[in-house]
Amino acid sequence: MKLVSVLKSVILTILFVNLINAQSANQLTVFHAGSLTVPFEKIIDGFKKENPGVEVLKEIAGSRECARKISELKKPCDIFASADYMVIDQLLVPEFTDWNLKFATNEMAIVYTEKSRRAKEINQKKWFEVLLDKNISVGRADPNADPCGYRTILTMKLAEIFYNKKGLAEKLIKKNQEYIRPKEVDLLALLEEGELDYIFLYRSVAEQHGLKFLILPDKINLKKAELEDYYKQVSVELNGKKPGEKISQVGSSMVYGITIPKNSPNPALAKKFIHYLMNKEKGLRVMQELGQPTVIPSMCDAYNKLPDDLKKYAVKKK
């Protein structure tokens, strides 16, 4: 009887382990930037319809915060989609991943609502005068947590050059520091409730939420790849990989990146998701329709490290 009981216990254990393995084989954990919330919701829904039984677990945060969940907290992650491909290069390569694929672009804008004070006055020539008004409240993301945060500072510094207004960036940076949040989408509720008049935000997020926005000149908005050398005139200091370490983030055109971390519990399913995302009639179509132009195929610094079946989405850097 004792032997029968032991055998039953072993069989039940094997069945339980097989059940867990079967479930995990269909589970995908995705970390992604807040600015990808709307498009990725639609892309993930489409992916799940094409792959019945797949469960997708999402963690949405600032891209630098997402990267630190992988590097410092060692959280398992199958897909990491960053609002800035350089976050992957700076914080994860080579210890936690070997490569990343660039897949979409964006631009900085000043976002507001009909309730925003002086909304009828704001324009490309005097937006900074409106934002510096002591009665106006302005929000932005934390540069050490979110690329939108440091891109905001880079935009301010480029504005100082573009408008030839010495000291403009410092004035803008010092204003309303109580309204700095971990990621840019955290600011949306404050804006819509009227606590904030304006926020520095990606144009795509403004469009997706039906908000008003001011388009900034191309020499300020970090949109154009052909203006890369112009953007490089400015930089911002950020926290590095280790405590106390600092890195310099130089101005550059906006490019989103995606990777499969080395600690991925399900790399095969992760690659399947990337193929879906990179499909012009599926994932890339959603990105395009929701205001984030795609850059596939794109230059890849680590082309030789890419999985062979993903190389078709990249171009080897000469």
142-168 pLDDT tens trace? 999 999 999 999 999 999 999 999 999
Q: Specify whether 98 is located in the same domain as 152.
A: no
Tell which of 250, 277, 303 closes a domain: 250
Report the domain count for the chain.
Answer: 2
* CA dist list (Å): 176 to 13, 20, 133, 182, 197: 58, 49, 11, 15, 11
Q: Specify whether 56 is located in the same domain as 187.
A: no
Residues 166-189: pLDDT tens digits?
A: 999 999 999 999 999 998 778 999
Q: Specify whether 36 is located in the same domain as 97.
A: yes
Residues 242-272: pLDDT tens digits?
A: 888 999 999 999 999 999 999 999 999 999 9
249, 236 contact by CB (below 8 A): yes
Q: Specify whether 120 is located in the same domain as 19.
A: no
Q: 246 pairs with which residues across the strands?
A: 239
- Show the DSSP H helices in the chain as ranges: 2-25, 37-50, 63-71, 85-91, 127-131, 147-162, 168-174, 186-193, 203-208, 218-221, 228-231, 267-277, 283-289
| Domain region containing 76 | 2-105+255-316
Q: Specify whether 123 is located in the same domain as 231.
A: yes
Evaluate if residue 6 carries a pLDDT over 60.
no
Q: Specify whether 50 is located in the same domain as 101.
A: yes
DSSP state of 282: T
* CA dist list (Å): 18 to 53, 108, 176, 256, 265: 16, 48, 54, 37, 15
Q: Specify whether 69 is located in the same domain as 115.
A: no
Residue 9: predicted pLDDT: 55
Tell which of 206, 224, 250 closes a domain: 250
Phi, psi of 46 (to 5 degrees): -65, -40
Tell which of 217, 250, 283 closes a domain: 250
Q: Specify whether 146 is located in the same domain as 220.
A: yes
Q: Specify whether 260 is located in the same domain as 228.
A: no
DSSP state of 279: -
Whether this model's pTM surpasses 0.95 = no
Determine the Cα–Cα distance for residues 158 and 218; give it in Å rounded to an integer: 10
Residue 292: predicted pLDDT: 94
Q: Specify whether 309 is located in the same domain as 181.
A: no
Is there a cis peptide before residue 94, judged by omega within 30 degrees of 0? Answer: yes
Q: Specify whether 227 is located in the same domain as 300.
A: no
Determine the Cα–Cα distance for residues 154 and 229; give it in Å rounded to an integer: 14
Choice between 21 and 308, residue whose per-residue pLDDT is larger: 308
Q: Specify whether 129 is located in the same domain as 173.
A: yes
